[in-house]
Amino acid sequence: MPSMENEGSEVSRAEEIKNQANEAFKAHRYGQAIDLYTQAIELNSQNAVYWANRSLAHTKLEEYGSAIQDATKAIEVDPKYSKGYYRRGAAYLAMGKFKEALKDFQQVKRICPNDPDATKKLKECEKAVMKLKFEEAISVPESERRSVADSIDYRTIKVEPQYLGAKIEGDVVTLDFVKKMMDDFKNQKCLHKRYAFQIVLQMREMLQALPSLVDINVPDGSLLTVCGDVHGQFYDLINIFELNGLPSEENPYLFNGDFVDRGSFSVEVILTLFAFKCMCPSAIYLARGNHESKSMNKIYGFEGEVRSKLSETFVELFAEVFCYLPLAHVINQKVFVVHGGLFSVDGVKLSDIRAIDRFCEPPEEGLMCELLWSDPQPYPGRGPSKRGVGLSFGADVTRRFLQDNNLDLVVRSHEVKDEGYEIEHDGKLITVFSAPNYCDQMGNKGAFIRFEAPDLKPNIVTFSAVPHPDVKPMAYANNFLRMFQ
């Protein structure tokens, strides 16, 4: 019968496309792999493997919402397919949803009782959930919490005579100090805790005084450079400064969030950026990203790295200071710069962003959450977020927001791009990402944008990754997450 024949050829064609998708996946071309798995699914939607494979490709692109949807579909197609539960559990974990992940790994164990890998992951997941319950049990209510900064007096910390690293003389962070500190970091030397405390405490005071939306004024003939995610890639940060000059009053930068996590030199990155801000507040502007939060830092490495290189007190101190970071910037009343994106409702004014009480961990919904988590989409309107947090928004949403606020352009970061940047929404939205060869495996370029006043035309500069010492990304990440790398 022709229809049977036709069906058979579609099934075998789907299998061919799936094999091509697997090749693209192996080459770290995850976007291409997703497109190919999608074609295979369109030809044969009853194959759980295609859904589970596409779920894994979404996970690699940090699209955990889509990964969970696909893994759930794989489970619907074949409720006994252990990989469906496995993939969904891994995506839940990546979002910090340990309790949901635990249920999926328990199911994997039921289906594969003798699989040592499933047993190991289930044990780790149980440990993570127990730890979470313990932390919840001993946590102090927000209203009673005291600032950890109040308990620190860095002046009483002795600097041993054998310490030969960078030193701050008195209260002033100088350019000489910052250069020496960066050189020490390049050679994998640590900064003395006294000076690290001094920088972070000074930073806290400075950030506390800022509004949630900061206006930046760039005089005519002057430049401002906007950088996207750096994600703990210290040696690439140094390269940006070599290509574009050190931050100064004449050469200011705006770093648009996600300074830490994933890359294993996050402490070096954050202390460098903070030190430049202490040295000259108008030399550098810093915005909060979704990774400047406790829940992300717990999973993706910053917390472990701070504990290893500094101390437990610093873990608390950084968490507090991250809550003081502004949420967005406006350049010359024309360019809106934010880490994630726009909103689930129309009519949001800059005054609404200014009015956000940002001194907290990011909530799971509302304006603050959307600023940190949302992503653009190629079609109009709004849709669910592929990340499972925030939303996706189209060109019409961008256009209305710009019109409502008399702005020309949205610049955001938050997403890895092959060329380091992408221009979307009829030229009204630019994504910039400044961590090249992200996590040592994506092969992408990095980029930064130079805006010159008065016309503020974006001049995009791309660059490639530079070598770094042999410390793998995620070296300090949650033990459990490292199992999935």
Query: Would you name the residues annotated as active-site residues?
Result: 291
Which residues does residue 344 pair with via DSSP β-bridges, in sequence order? none
Place of tokens 């050679």: 187
Which residues does residue 462 pair with via DSSP β-bridges, in sequence order? 447
Which residues does residue 392 pair with via DSSP β-bridges, in sequence order? 375, 383
Question: Helix-strand-coil percent breakdown of the chain, rounded to 5?
Answer: 50, 10, 40
Whole-number CA gyration radius for the chain:
23
Phi, psi angle pair for 100, to nearest 5° = -65, -40
Identify the CA nearest to 468 among candidates 268, 190, 333, 193: 268
Q: Which residues contact 9 (CB under 8 A, 6 or more apart)?
A: none
Instruction: Name the token pair of 123.
Output: 């044990």
159 DSSP assignment: P
Q: Report the first-to-last Cα separation within the chain, whole angstroms.
A: 47
Name the residue type at position 14. Answer: A
- How many helices (H) and strands (E) in the chain? 18, 14
Cα angle 465-57-21, degrees, rounded to a multiple of 5: 100
Our measurement of the distance from residue 11's CA atom to the centroid of its chain's CA atoms, rounded to an integer in Å, reads 39
CA dist list (Å): 111 to 21, 54, 89: 27, 22, 14
Instruction: Name the token pair of 206.
Output: 């400075």
Place of tokens 């760039």: 218
Q: What is the Cα–Cα distance from 360 to 265, expressed in whole angstroms?
A: 25
Place of tokens 């910390």: 157
Q: What is the Cα–Cα distance from 326 to 334, expressed in whole angstroms?
A: 18
Name the residue type at position 333. Answer: Q
Q: What is the Cα–Cα distance from 108 to 26, expressed in whole angstroms?
A: 25
- By DSSP bridging, strand 328-331 and strand 335-338 are antiparallel
- Residue pair 414/258 in contact (Cβ under 8 Å)? The answer is yes
- Residue pair 276/255 in contact (Cβ under 8 Å)? The answer is no
- Residue pair 254/227 in contact (Cβ under 8 Å)? The answer is yes
